[in-house]
Amino acid sequence: MPNLRIKSVTSRMFAENCYVVSLPARADCVVIDPGLEPHRILALLRDDGLEPTAILCTHGHADHIAGNAAFKEVFPKIPLIIGEGDAAKLTDPELNLSAAFGAPLLSPPADRLVRDGEVVESAGMSFLVRETPGHSQGHVVFIVQGQVPGVVFGGDVLFQGSVGRTDFPDGDSALLVRSIREKLFSLPPDTEVYPGHGEPTTIGEERETNPYVGRRGL
């Protein structure tokens, strides 16, 4: 598979990364975790001449789903895809944590729910789903198949030098550590991790140096 084109739009309020992923010489793309400033993501698509064929959500917290409604309004036929364990968060402001900020947020419901081991095919790419609970009950990551080095869109599980929060109602620190070590650290060390917040990193770097889950932190 040719190298991916990966562009990010970072929402200013919570510094959440949305990723627009496409293949060279193609005009279709996948949008991952559209956040709180969808107009900026839509402008990027217009400027680059891209049209989305799917919205992939790693989990259902408000900062990662806030742009879903705007995208479905502009592109009503594209599927909205999320792990089945976080589907209820899309349409419940209490569960997606937006109510706590005094700005209840609703996303359209999912068009497809995915589980561990399923593959999402869109825009000429194949995304393997792995369930990675801990930050949220139904958190998933999307691993691009056939890509060397590997690429994983990891949401709020593993960050550069850190890990996702587990102090939310359905968070679980022990489960998060298990998810990282079993579902992510089993990937090749040169696998690139594009997280929901912060800069990209690699599996090898975090496996060795992450103070929470890496070898040097044990």
Q: Which of 55, 5, 19 is nearest to 154 (CA)?
A: 19
CA 151/CA 159 separation, integer angstroms: 14
pLDDT in tens, 113-162: 999 999 999 999 999 999 999 999 999 999 999 988 999 999 999 999 99
pLDDT band with cut points at 50, 70 and 90 for residue 188: very high
DSSP-derived letter for residue 197 is B
Is a pLDDT exceeding 60 seen at residue 53?
yes
**What's the predicted TM-score (pTM) here?**
0.96
Domains of the chain in start order, with CATH, are 5-217 (3.60.15.10)
Q: Locate 69 and state its tokens.
A: 């409604």
Q: Taking the mean position of all CA atoms in its chain, how far away is CA 142? A: 7
